[in-house]
Structure 1
Amino acid sequence: MRDEPIGEQLLETARNVLREEILPALPPERKHAALMIANAMIIAMRQLKNGEDGERRELRSLQSLLGHAGRDEPAGGAELRRQLTDLDREFAHAIRSGRGDAGVWRDAARQHLLETIRAKVMESNPKYLGEPGR
């Protein structure tokens, strides 16, 4: 178990200091860069909070869609991202080859894309979806 403050809390504190103390003191030409840093920090906070849950859901969805259901899930980290990259390539190839032009597979692929994009936007810009964000 980690002692407090944990990573998410540290990022939140640093972001608050940046926005409340440093940003107001910056010259106008530097404020945009500071706001980009603050936004990157909140995205990192959301990713820390969510862990690998979204990536694991995406992996299971792609495995099911591409006929690989039942495969062992990777422990996480780099192996999880590698498998996702491989399945994303296979998914793109299936779409390019016409598999998604019609039928049940097309509907399942569309649902996968909607859920995946929604999860990514929830981390990067939840206000866009009408969700509360910081």
Structure 2
Amino acid sequence: MINQPGTRDLLTEARQVLLDSVAAELTGERKYQALMAANAMGMAIRELEQREQGEPAQTDRTVRAFLAERSLGDTAGESEAALAQAIRERRLDGADPALRSVLRTLTEARLRINNPGFLKR
């Protein structure tokens, strides 16, 4: 079989070229747009890495377990949507430490993709 670069490798290389060659020669609005594109590519790379490590599945299991413990179920198959619906309908107590833990888990998972530097502060 021919050794083919993976999606993450392709995105990483393209992002580096964009940052090192293209964005370096731009100014103003065009530079901002190139940096935004590079940022989006970085987010996609981190999301792929999380998938490879099975993190979204683990986070989903955490939410599903929380919902099951409270007999809220997950009929739609979308655990986060079911959790959001239960919160909107005030079927959950905002002071519940377990709810806060689940919400923190979800937030940290998003931050590891969108803004990993924030978690380091």
Aligned partners of 1:102, 1:17: CA distance in 2, in Å?
46
Structure 2 CA distance for aligned equivalents of residues 31 and 20 of structure 1: 12
Over aligned residue pairs, what C-alpha RMSD do you find?
2.4
Question: What SS is found at the alignment partner of 1:60?
Answer: helix
3-state DSSP of counterpart to 1:98: coil
- In the TM superposition, 1:17-32 aligns within 5 A as 17-32=17-32
Change (3 A) 1:27 1:92: closer
What amino acid is aligned across from residue 104 of structure 2 in structure 1? L
In 1, Cα distance between the equivalents of 2:17 and 2:9?
A: 12
Residue correspondences, number? 114
Query: Matched residues, percent identical?
Result: 33
Pairs within 5 Å for 1:1-134: 3-51=3-51, 53-67=54-68, 83-84=77-78, 87-101=79-93, 106-130=96-120
| Contact 2:43 2:113 (8 Å CA) reproduced | yes
Q: Separation in 2 of the partners of 1:46 and 1:33?
A: 20
CA displacement at 1:62 relative to structure 2: 1.9
Contact 2:23 2:34 in 1 (8 A): yes
Task: Give me the TM-score of the superposition, normalised by structure 2.
Answer: 0.79
Structure 2 stretches lacking a partner, 5+ long: 70-75
C-alpha distance in 1, partners of 2:94/2:46?
36
Contact 2:60 2:80 in 1 (8 A): no
* Structure 1 residue 41, shift from structure 2 partner: 0.7
Q: Which runs of 5+ in 1 are unaligned?
A: 69-81
